[in-house]
Amino acid sequence: MSNENTKYDKQEKKIEYITVFSVLMFFALFILFLLRGCDDSASIEMPVGKTTHLNMNSGTNVKSKSLEKKQQTFSKDEKRKVLKPEVLKNTKDEIEKLEIQKAVKLEADRVARLKLKKLEAQQAARAKQARLEKAQKAAKLEADRVARLKLKKLEARQAARAEQARLEKAQKVAKLEADRVARLKLKNLEAQQTTRVEEKRLKTDGIKVNSKTIKTEASEEAGIINDIQSQSISASPYILKGVYFQTSSSKLSNDKSRRQLDVIANTLKKYPSVKVILRGHTDNKGNDKINKILSEKRALSVKNALIQRGIAPERITAKGMSDTQPIETNDTEEGRALNRRVDIATI
């Protein structure tokens, strides 16, 4: 726009210069016209002077009359000749005036056309600028629309990902729940199998203490007393029969466990100076770190049960042995059930 305005300003100055030049030319032509008029008047009056001079030199009357007659005729002719240049002069002046007026009008028309062109150019420039602004606005609106569409697509993708993640999480939770239910069923099955194995073992073998068979709980207490008195329990620890645990559990849950702990607590009450160590064990399932922690929890579970039955805490030490001291094979479920145990020994 600034370049176009500069161009138009130069054109306006050029028009002004041309206008001034035209006016000056008009005045110059007018002055020239006046000067030419004076020269024509002088040239026309010269024959009259000559005629007068001839009349003065004439000697005879005839000649005077004829000359006078000629003078009159000549005067009329000269008068006509004088009138014609004046008419021509006036006509020429009119023509020159008309030509000057025409030239001025043409110049004015040309200037008007230039101004009109300038105005049209300015209007065209404004229209072009308006079109550019409109196009820019339309482009901006289109860019905004495209940006909104992209944002909607991005939000839709994010929502789809979130929904997919939610579904995957729900599936994972469902799978974990299914695994938990399966583990519970397996634990129940193992518990049932352990119970059947224990019942079968008790029916056939009785209760073994240091390779001795005790038929009843009363004889079991007597056996514990004998072991404590002979101090053979430290060499061959007494296994708490009936105190067994489910896989990955340290909870005491059945009546046999409670009865066994009652017998141990009563025995320890009769010998208050005796201190014992409880050692928890696991099967070989799981890694060593987890089994170590689990075996300690099982020993602590028995310790807490004895404390609840009146045994002083300082008399009991709890220790986890992990799966390092199995008493049965870990290749069968029955063997693994017997290895998940707690035994007791004197310190």
Q: Are residues 133 and 211 in the same domain?
A: no
Number of domains in the chain: 2
pTM, 2 dp: 0.36
Based on the domain organization, do 215 and 317 belong to the same domain? yes
* Last residue of one domain, picked from the residues 140, 173, 195: 140
Structure confidence at residue 313 (pLDDT): 94
Asked if the model's pLDDT at residue 50 lies above 80, the reply is no
> Look-up: residue for tokens 């008195």?
229
Q: Is residue 197 part of a domain?
A: no
Residue at a domain's end among 107, 140, 173 = 140
Instruction: Check: CB of residue 336 under 8 Å from CB of residue 285.
Output: yes
Position 191 in a domain: no
The answer as to whether 325 is a domain residue is yes
The answer to whether residue 198 is domain-embedded is no
Q: Which domain holds residue 233?
A: 206-346
Q: Among 291, 293, 211, 195, which residue's Cα sits nearest to residue 244?
A: 195
Residue 47 lies in a domain: yes
Task: Give CA–CA dist 165/125, Å, rounded.
Answer: 58
Q: Is residue 130 part of a domain?
A: yes
Q: How high is the pLDDT of residue 97?
A: 81
Cα(55)–Cα(44) distance, integer angstroms:
19
Q: Is 340 exposed, middle or buried (0-12, 13-18, 19+ CB in 10 A)?
A: buried
State pLDDT tens for residues 86-104: 655 667 777 878 888 888 8
Task: Judge whether 187 lies within some domain.
Answer: no
Confidence bin at 52 (pLDDT 50/70/90): very low
Please say which residue of 90, 117, 140 terminates a domain: 140
Q: Is residue 331 part of a domain?
A: yes
The closest of 298, 290, 197 to 246, measured between CA atoms, is 298
What strand order describes the sheet that includes 341-346? 238-244, 341-346, 276-280, 316-320
Q: Which residue has the higher pLDDT, 31 or 336?
A: 336
Mean pLDDT of 307-318: 94
